[in-house]
């Protein structure tokens, strides 16, 4: 279990270093990617909320 934890921590560290290298080399590309990701996430959130509201709907008065 400790070995697995070490591998996970190492992978996170390597990923963070890789992202920093990419950020320094291509800052505008990562900013554009971040903006697109935020836009997609907000659209997905709005679609989920709309679908949820339609599924739940208002309670009929009896």
What is the value of pTM for the model shown?
0.56
Q: How far apart are the first and last CA of the chain?
A: 58
Q: In the chain, which residue ranges form alpha helices assigned H by DSSP?
A: 2-25, 27-56
- Map residue 57 onto helix, strand or coil: coil
Q: Give residue-wise pLDDT tens across range 5-62.
A: 999 999 999 999 999 999 999 999 989 999 999 999 999 999 999 999 888 877 655 5
pLDDT of residue 58: 72
- What would the mean pLDDT of 2-7 be, rounded to a whole number? 93
């Amino acid at each position: 279990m400790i070995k697995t934890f070490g591998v996970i921590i190492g992978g996170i560290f390597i990923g963070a270093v890789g992202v920093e290298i990419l950020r320094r080399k291509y800052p505008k590309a990562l900013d554009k990617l971040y903006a697109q990701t935020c836009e997609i996430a907000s659209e997905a959130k709005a679609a989920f909320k709309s679908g949820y509201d339609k599924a739940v709907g208002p309670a009929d008065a009896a």
